Amino acid sequence: MPDAKPIKARLAELWRFRKPFDQVLPDDLDHAHIPPRVGPIWLSRAEKPSVVQQQTPVLITVHGFSATPFESHYLLDYLLDTHPQWQGARVMLGAHGSDIAEFRQASWQDWQAPLEQELAALLRLGYAHQTLIATSTGCALLLELLSRRAFPGVQKLVLIAPLVKPREKLVKLVSWARKAGVQAVANDFDPDWIRCWYRELPLHAVEQLHLLCSELQRLLKRGLHLPSELEILIVQSRGDRVVDPESAQILAQSLKHNQVEVLWLDSRWHLPILPRKDEPRENAIKDRVFARVDQFLSQSLPKWP
């Protein structure tokens, strides 16, 4: 999602993109060299698990809007390097990571479908100790799914910059902008990693994002009931320029039946889990997040026999 800007500047930008444009370059969607191309890992499509594997902790990552599994690539690698006996899976959201034409037409339910399919498959395969690590829009998709379908194997959630309220207020004007003939806006929120997202944000997709946020807000207002044994760690930057940091507080207050911890960070980045060149302070924050997530997962996950 674009960085927050004054509304007049955003309206001018919308008018500039009245006609379709294509800023998707051949080597976009994943960084060309660091990390290597990061695609999905569908654990459900691997060999049938043994009894031991069914009892081994599984970490499943879910990325955000217009991105790919690269978002939590470094965090997942750190956790699996630290605990080589654990298993990892990476979900690629529907209509992401391939053809921008598909992204221009897909609904948020289409984005969510691969996540639901993978969790359902892992449930059938008997994986008993699952942790979901989601970022941004991936958190919203995950919470909506868990609100209506039970997955007993899911024991913990790590929600990084969970999207409840976007900081970009322009999202609310999407319907008006589309009627005015605007097709898309440019994605510019993270210049360090811009090649890892779609550079074009079709307004159809932004409108779907707005609908997803509205649905999650409705669920939270009504009372979001998740399994009481589910433990949740929320990681939120105070300087997040994409998600309104109030989202973390709203979420924590709404999940009254769960053990919830909010880790607040004095970071200026939406995703404080990505390495930052020439920013030692931000990298120290990243290391702190990695250590806290590891501690959170290790406290009650079963030890390797």
Task: Please give the chain's pLDDT, 305 residues, in tens.
Answer: 544 555 555 555 554 444 445 555 655 555 544 455 688 999 999 989 999 999 999 999 999 999 999 999 999 999 999 999 999 999 999 999 877 889 999 999 999 999 999 999 999 999 999 999 999 999 999 999 999 999 999 999 999 999 999 987 666 667 667 676 677 777 777 877 877 788 888 889 999 999 999 999 999 999 899 999 999 999 999 999 999 999 999 999 999 889 999 999 999 999 999 999 889 999 999 999 999 999 999 986 444 44
- Burial per residue of 158-187, b for 16 or more beta-carbon CB atoms within 10 angstroms, e otherwise: bbbbbbbbbbbebbebbeebbeeebbbbeb
Q: Closest Cα partner for 66 from 214, 183, 165, 185?
A: 185
Q: What's the whole-model pTM score? A: 0.88
Going 106 to 110 to 115 to 117, the CA torsion angle's sign is negative
Secondary structure class of 261 (helix, strand, coil): strand
- Burial per residue of 195-207, b for 16 or more beta-carbon CB atoms within 10 angstroms, e otherwise: ebbbbbbbbbbbb
Structure tokens at 295: 């501690």
- Residues 6 or more apart whose CB falls under 8 angstroms from that of 12 comprise none
Is residue 164 within 8 Å of residue 253, measured between CB atoms? no
**236 has which bridge partners?**
264
Secondary structure class of 305 (helix, strand, coil): coil
- What residue ranges do the domains of the chain occupy? 7-299
Measure the CA–CA gap between 266 and 245, rounded to whole angstroms. Answer: 11
Assigned fold of 7-299: Rossmann fold (3.40.50)
- Burial per residue of 208-237, b for 16 or more beta-carbon CB atoms within 10 angstroms, e otherwise: bbbebbeebbebbeeebebeeebbbbbbbb
Going 39 to 40 to 45 to 48, the CA torsion angle's sign is positive
